[in-house]
Amino acid sequence: MARLILFNKPYGVLSQFTDKGMADSKRATLSDHIDLPGVYPAGRLDRDSEGLLLLTDDGKLQERIASPRFKTEKIYLVQVERIPDDAAIEALCRGVTLKDGPTRPARVSRIAPPDLWERDPPVRFRKSVPDCWLSITISEGRNRQVRRMTAHVGHPTLRLVRWRIGAWSLDGLAPGTWRDAPPETLGTPVKNRGR
């Protein structure tokens, strides 16, 4: 049976087991937190982002989770500069056109600041510039997509935490820790909208 690992990736950790090309690098990698042979990330999470990263030993499961054609939903908790108005929220919901083409429609809403762990280093704070938290659900996963989307509508991302991928979430998982996914969740890893 396939094995699926849920890992709460801390800020500053690379989504790979080695820092290729950097013989004397001190950058943190997955190997600093996970000592399991034969598992590999199903998708990526940028070094400056935090949250849920899935790892598996099954190539087909890895593809079902990571491939855009399966439209796996991912929920991000995103702290942005300033308070987005309704027009900015609506633009994100409709989809915005980035340098690599239009994004699929997203679900976006303003939320109260979530009860998260402290980030190290902390997000910069400026008294003169308010911030806001958004919940953003997308069904694709382009490079730095959420950050590029919020910047496109004039609200740069300050902090980004991926909370959920398909059926799996960070509930009860502290930063830098991992657990096995319950076996019953391995059969239906994705939520296919519109199929």
Tell me which residues are annotated as active site.
46
180 phi, psi to nearest 5 deg: -75, 145
The C-alpha atoms of residue 46 and residue 141 are separated, in whole angstroms, by 11
**DSSP tag of 185:** G
The C-alpha atoms of residue 189 and residue 161 are separated, in whole angstroms, by 20
173 torsion bin: left (phi>0), alpha (psi -120 to 50), beta (else) = beta
Contacts of residue 20, Cβ cutoff 8 Å, sequence gap at least 6:
none
Rounded (5°) CA angle 137-8-93 = 10
The C-alpha atoms of residue 15 and residue 79 are separated, in whole angstroms, by 21
